[in-house]
Structure 1
Amino acid sequence: MSRYCSQCGKSLKACICQWIQSLTSNVELVILQHHSETDRPMGTARILKLSLANSYCFVGEDFSNNEQLNQLLNDGQHQHFVLYPGEGSITHNEVAEQVANQQKVRVILLDGTWKKAYKMWQLSTNLHKLPLVRLPDDLQGNYRIRKAPSDNSLSTVEAGYHILSLLEPETDFMPLIDAFNQMIEFQIKQMPPGVFEKNYLS
């Protein structure tokens, strides 16, 4: 008998499936996951994958020649954006206008640390022609069990939640955050007494 859940891939003890809700979104998410993130017990991209049936996830570092991704990018029926606060990035409002006009939109998320996400962006030349979109600067993250470069750094599932909520404000995507918070609380409870306070609250 496997010690791991066949759905979420986590150990049976840490299975997150009980907190997952199936959600419908008109905006498709494409998650490009750095290979170092695939086995992290606290990785959050899996929440998006499990919750959103029309999401995609590809693993690697240089996605320039990723056949499946390039097939999506060559789909002329969709407008593609990369959620990345680079030079020349646009606000979500400009993307929301396209969604409101019923244009098909895909948003690409880079799943990795800031350093790894930057490297993925540099290496993946097929992304360079796509417009960049940024989130508002005042968003606060709640990824309490991983060190972040700033208070407004977001986990992948938080970034996905915020961009979907901004583009489709009439849809409730809060179950994504609820599952995320439940996973965080479970992980904190597994830590020896005092470890969380010492390592993450100091």
Structure 2
Amino acid sequence: MSRYCLQCGKSQKACICQWIQSLSSNVELIILQHPTEEHRPMGTARILSLSLPNSYLFVGEDFSTHDELNHLLAQSDVEHYILYPSDHSRSADELIAKANTDKVRVILLDGTWKKAYKMWQVSTNLQSLPCLHLPKGLKGNYRIRKAPSENSLSTVEAGYHILSLLQPEQDFSPLLAAFDHMIQFQIDQMPPGVFERNYLK
């Protein structure tokens, strides 16, 4: 018997499948995952790909010649955006009306800020896509992973917020519920006092 779940890829003990709910979404997500994130015990991209049947998850760093991604980007009847804050990015809430009338896909970069920046820089097929940013003031709940700032979001939190903004009539809270269960499980495995000493400062 494999030590790892064949569906979520996590160890059998830390399997998240029991908390996953299949969610319908008109907006499609493409998650581009840096290879160093693929097997992290606390990685969250898998929550999105398992919960959203029409999402895509690709692993790599330079996606310039990635056949499957380029096939998707070539579909002229779909509006593509990348969730990446930049000097020229637009606020995601400006797309609410468009998401209700056009087919929209949003690309998420799954990696540290440094690695996400590298992915965006070397993937030439991403350079021409319009960039989006989420509203300021959103706070992440990644309690057991050091973040560069209070408003840093995990990939699943970013996915939740972009979907909730573009489709406010739908409930995507099961994404955050699965995330919270995953985090709480990891906290419960820590020796007494470790979480309080290392993460509640």
After TM superposition, the score normalised by the length of structure 2 is: 0.98
**What does 1:39-58 align with in structure 2 at a 5 Å threshold?**
39-58=39-58
Cα drift, residue 195 of structure 1: 1.5
**What does 1:81-100 align with in structure 2 at a 5 Å threshold?**
81-100=81-100
In structure 2, C-alpha distance between the alignment counterparts of 1:59 and 1:133, rounded to whole Å: 21
Cα drift, residue 196 of structure 1: 1.3
Cα drift, residue 94 of structure 1: 2.3
In structure 1, C-alpha distance between the alignment counterparts of 2:68 and 2:198, rounded to whole Å: 40
In structure 1, C-alpha distance between the alignment counterparts of 2:197 and 2:68, rounded to whole Å: 43
Cα drift, residue 14 of structure 1: 0.7
Paired amino acid for 1:191? M
List 4+ stretches of structure 1 deviating above 2 A.
Answer: none
In structure 2, C-alpha distance between the alignment counterparts of 1:186 and 1:33, rounded to whole Å: 23
Deviation per CA, 1:26-85: give whole Å up to 9, x if none. Answer: 000000000000010000000001000000011011111111110010010100000011
Paired amino acid for 1:36? T
Paired amino acid for 1:148? A
Aligned to 2:27: 27
Alignment partner of 1:107 is 2:102: no
Q: 3-state SS of the aligned residue for 2:165?
A: helix
- Give unmatched runs, 5+ long, in structure 2: none
Alignment partner of 1:200 is 2:199: yes
After TM superposition, the score normalised by the length of structure 1 is: 0.98
Aligned residues: 201
Paired amino acid for 2:37? E
Paired amino acid for 1:64? S
In structure 2, C-alpha distance between the alignment counterparts of 1:76 and 1:188, rounded to whole Å: 45
